[in-house]
Structure formats: structure tokens, C-alpha cells
Amino acid sequence: MKQRTIRQRVELTGIGLHKGVPVTLVLEPLEANSGIVFYRSDLGVSIPLVPESIIDTTMATVIGKDNAKVSTIEHLMSAVYAYGIDNLKISINNEEIPIMDGSSIAHCLLLDEAGIVEFDVPRKLIEIKKPIEVRDGDKFVRLEPSQKTIFDFSIDFAHPAIKEQHYTFTFSKTAYIDEIAKARTFGFLQEVNYLRSIGLAKGGNLNNCIVLDESGIMNKEGLRYPEEFVRHKILDAIGDMAILGIPLLGSYISFAGSHKLNSLLTQKLLHEEGAYEVVTASESQKVLEFEKAVAIS
């Protein structure tokens, strides 16, 4: 397993979900060991993808530095993580990543267009060595040691279209595209006015979000998956875990997790002694098994 970047520069233009303004997203290759860097081209400010860069988790994961911020990074980072990309420059000319259709499939297609290049440099992983958990009442997010990378998520909404949903996703790029990438973000009609009053959801509509009224789903085309709501939660969780900068070897388990809890989980993981070990394939049989399971192409 080697470090990766993209083969060529690519871009797309869309609107932000929360601010509702046009923004152009540009992806460019970086050399090995560069990591993932966000760049506000309109402000000339670079923001590294590290847990310390997170400045807000209200309805989205937001990173920032100095006078610059980049909002709603989780869908793009979910796709970047799934494609095994370690080194990448992500430039935008406004403060929010384009929402596209509310899932990460457009970002996957953009990465397909960009292509992948491998360096002759080993890729590292964070191997979870002991359970780590963050709770907020009944809600929790947890990491546990595992031979495979698994995302196990449960939700329970008092809404007839959602109710209780559970999904277990064993990570691989192919499975991600088939099972997770097309799952859209969702919201409740009665919350829209409140969100817009605090400057959020201005770009949300039926083309980029599953919208629910009191009785059901307002989108005429219906759902893409039977459990699309919880699958989108997994999509978000993968993007939030990508803030660590290198992939996880372990199980992520959650009930009603959120961007806030995910951020607290990454911070706790990095600061708790003995919670993890950074390993390469040459150092761990588990990582060799991870390579076989992921089979990134």
C-alpha cells in the first residue's frame, strides 16, 4: 500500500448548501508526505487537514485558520478517503465546498476524472489499540480494535419515513461507491426557517437534499437506498474521520453520532495514551490484511 495523489488538476462549480453561493472547487496533485491541504484562493490562505483546524461543527464540519474557513468538508473528504488519496491540494474561491446532489458521488466522479498516481512511499494507518468513546446522553461514537475497517451506525428518528435504521459497512472503495456514495443529506421542512435564520441551509433544495415534511418524503423520486438516512450518516462519519489525515484500521460504532461527537472522538483518540499506533504494512500483519480487504483500485 503506497501513498497516493491525483494524476491531474480537475475542477467543478456548484453552490454551497448552507450559504447558497456559487463556488468553484479545484483539486490538484501534491508530492508524497504533503498531506491534504485546503486553500482559499480568494484569500490566499492554506488550512491543513488536522483535527486542530476544526472551528465549528454546527450542521457541518468547518475548518479554519486566521481569517479563512472552509465549511462542509465532510462529503468531499469522505470520497477522498474512499479513494485512498493521501496528498491533495483542495482550492475553493468561497467558504463552502459545493453540495452538488447532497451525496459524495459527484466528488467520486471528479476523482475518477482526475485519476490516481502512487508514490514509492509506504502508506501509514492509525491502528486502534483500545476502545475510545465519546458520549452525549444516549448518543455516542466509539472506536474499537478490529482486523478490518468497519463503520457501524444506528439512528432513531420519531418520523414515519425514518424510524430506527441500522447499517454496517465494511470498508472498501468498491463497496463505498455501491453502498454509501449516493446517500444524500436530509433535513426536516419545519427546521428550514430556523436554519436560514442563523445563516444556514440557504442553498438547500429538493435537488440536493432529502426533505421531509410531517408525514413523509417530499422528493418525488423517493429514496436511493432503503436505509439512505443512516447510510448518509456513515458517509459523514467517514469524512469526519478523514480529518486524522491517515486512514483508520479499526471499527467505528455510533448511535446518533454527529459532527461534534466525531470531532471530539478524533481529539480524544490522539491525546489518550496507548489508544492507537501508526503502522505500515511492513510493521503489521493487520495492515497487510487491510490491504487485501480494501483492494483499492
Decide which of 26 and 199 is more confident: 26
The pLDDT confidence band at residue 288, using thresholds 50, 70 and 90, is low
Fold of the domain spanning 2-121: Ribosomal Protein S5; domain 2 (3.30.230)
- The predicted pLDDT at position 289 comes to 55
CATH architecture of 124-294: 2-Layer Sandwich (3.30)
Decide which of 205 and 220 is more confident: 220
pLDDT digits (tens, 9 = 90+) for 155-196: 999 999 999 999 999 999 999 999 999 999 998 888 877 777
Q: Is 159 known to sit in a ligand binding site?
A: no
- The predicted pLDDT at position 296 comes to 47
Q: Which residues pair with 156 in a beta bridge?
A: 164
Across the chain, what does the average pLDDT equal? 93
Q: Is 138 known to sit in a ligand binding site?
A: no
Marked catalytic residue, from 18, 159, 259, 271: 259
- The predicted pLDDT at position 65 comes to 95
pLDDT digits (tens, 9 = 90+) for 32-90: 999 999 999 999 999 999 999 999 998 899 999 999 999 999 999 999 999 999 999 99
Q: Give the HSE-up count for residue 33: Cα atoms under 13 Å, Cβ half-sphere.
A: 3
- The predicted pLDDT at position 295 comes to 47
Q: Is 152 known to sit in a ligand binding site?
A: no
The pLDDT confidence band at residue 281, using thresholds 50, 70 and 90, is low
Query: Active-site residue 259, yes or no?
Result: yes
Cα–Cα distance for residue pair 167/242, rounded to 1 Å: 20
185 touches 209 (CB < 8 A): yes
Does the pLDDT value for residue 209 go beyond 70? yes
Unique residue bearing C-alpha cell 475510545: 132
Measure the CA angle with vertex 251, ends 246 and 257; round to 5°: 90
- The predicted pLDDT at position 200 comes to 73
Does the pLDDT value for residue 293 go beyond 70? no
Q: Parse the chain into domains and list their residue ranges.
A: 2-121, 124-294
Residue 223 CB-density burial (10 A; 0-12 exposed, 13-18 middle, 19+ buried) = middle
Global confidence as pTM: 0.94
